[in-house]
């Protein structure tokens, strides 16, 4: 089994969801996020901010935390149901622990892309074959992309004339973000339906790079992409042919997951005495999600804070936007790290036990 950045090979060697060398990246990620949040507060807090804070309602803030935990539960149910549709029984709390451990690694990897290998590894440890574990995780991403594209289109239609009152640059960026998300969905569909044509297109594009890059390097890259195209094609068709209910349940719980996550900002605003922004927040969250995919900083720290501050300042009173972003990141970043560390402990214990049984000298 491939090393999931944080995992083990198929021979059962010792692993953990996060390596020792990556702890420094976690510290850097937290430090960078903290610095940016301080700057955001410095430039947004004013006299009006304290008027809002006098109306603070902790009930809504507690509800926001509860909604995030509920969303993680929906994610765990998605994995459980998708695995079950392929014939594997994986317990809910095992899936929940897997999801939370995945959050820790996502916090230290650029564009938060490190969580997928953790989920694959944990499914593999639960006797789900590597191919099916990979299929579950890859199809999760496909469902997410499709839903975000659909939800984004719905929000853009519902907002309608509201978008016309926004700055021209932001309006263009909103539509470009939605087009990027929709383009990714179409690319997924095309890759599934025409894997051979996709490979030929990649080979043609690689020919252009071969003129300036080292030919062996280009050939290795093309071979890797070919394997990933095949893996993706096989993964999707595992569900299309043998586990259609897995797609149905996956879509259902994905929808619950995203809708729950997207309303959290509105609960934070209500907790701060401001009006909720449900539809606007949906558009804003999709844009932020796309921006956070850019692999610039570990866990997208800094990028998330700045993009959220800029985008929400259009829909929310600038006096409160800094505090809102602070609470939002406390829930979605700092709380995720704490949950991830707690979830990692039993995984480390299990891996150490497995390693000890195979190697009594440990």
Distance CA 5, CA 15 (A): 9
Least confident residue range of 15-19, 158-162, 341-345: 15-19
pLDDT mean over 263-273? 95
Say what the pLDDT of residue 4 is.
Answer: 35
pTM, to two decimals: 0.81
Say what the pLDDT of residue 310 is.
Answer: 86
pLDDT at residue 299 tops 50:
yes
Average per-residue pLDDT in the chain? 80
Least confident residue range of 58-62, 178-182, 228-232: 228-232
Least confident residue range of 66-75, 163-172, 318-327: 163-172
Tens-digit pLDDT profile for residues 93-126: 999 999 999 998 888 776 556 678 889 999 999 9
Q: 13 or 245: which carries more pLDDT confidence?
A: 245
Tens-digit pLDDT profile for residues 29-57: 888 889 999 999 999 999 999 989 988 99
Name the nearest CA neighbour of 230 among 194, 203, 206, 204: 194
pLDDT mean over 275-282? 87
Say what the pLDDT of residue 3 is.
Answer: 35
Phi then psi for 110, rounded to 5 degrees?
A: -55, 135
Say what the pLDDT of residue 195 is.
Answer: 65
Taking CA atoms, 147 is separated from 126, 178, 225, in Å, by 28, 12, 25
Tens-digit pLDDT profile for residues 146-189: 888 788 777 777 766 666 666 666 677 677 777 776 777 777 66
């Amino acid at each position: 089994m491939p090393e999931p950045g944080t995992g083990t090979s198929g021979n059962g060697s010792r692993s953990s969801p996060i390596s020792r060398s990556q702890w420094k990246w976690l510290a850097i990620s937290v430090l960078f996020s903290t610095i940016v949040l301080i700057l955001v507060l410095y430039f947004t807090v004013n006299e009006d901010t304290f008027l809002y804070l006098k109306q603070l309602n902790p009930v809504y803030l507690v509800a926001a935390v509860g909604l995030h935990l509920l969303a993680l539960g929906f994610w765990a149910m998605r994995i459980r149901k998708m695995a079950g549709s392929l014939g594997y029984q994986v317990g809910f709390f095992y899936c929940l622990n897997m999801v939370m451990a995945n959050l820790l690694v996502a916090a230290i990897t650029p564009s938060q892309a490190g969580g997928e290998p953790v989920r694959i590894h944990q499914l593999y440890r639960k006797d789900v074959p590597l191919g099916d574990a990979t299929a579950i995780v890859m199809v999760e991403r496909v469902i997410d992309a499709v839903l975000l594209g659909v939800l984004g289109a719905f929000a853009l239609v519902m907002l309608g004339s509201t978008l016309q009152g926004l700055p021209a640059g932001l309006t263009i960026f909103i539509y470009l973000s939605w087009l990027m998300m929709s383009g990714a969905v179409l690319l997924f569909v095309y890759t599934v339906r025409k894997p051979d044509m996709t490979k030929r297109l990649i080979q043609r594009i690689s020919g252009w790079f071969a003129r300036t890059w080292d030919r062996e390097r280009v050939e290795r890259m093309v071979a890797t992409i070919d394997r990933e195209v095949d893996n993706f094609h096989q993964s999707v068709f595992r569900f299309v042919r043998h586990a259609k209910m897995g797609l149905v349940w996956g879509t259902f719980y994905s929808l619950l997951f995203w809708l729950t996550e997207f309303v959290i900002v509105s609960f934070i605003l209500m907790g701060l005495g401001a009006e909720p922004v449900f539809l606007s927040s949906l558009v804003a969250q999709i844009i932020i999600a796309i921006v956070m995919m850019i692999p610039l900083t570990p866990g997208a720290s800094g990028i998330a804070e700045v993009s959220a501050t800029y985008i929400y300042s259009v829909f929310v009173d600038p006096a409160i936007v800094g505090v809102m972003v602070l609470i939002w990141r406390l829930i979605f970043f700092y709380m995720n790290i704490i949950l991830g560390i707690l979830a990692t402990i039993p995984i480390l214990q299990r891996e150490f036990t497995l390693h000890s049984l195979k190697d009594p000298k440990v």
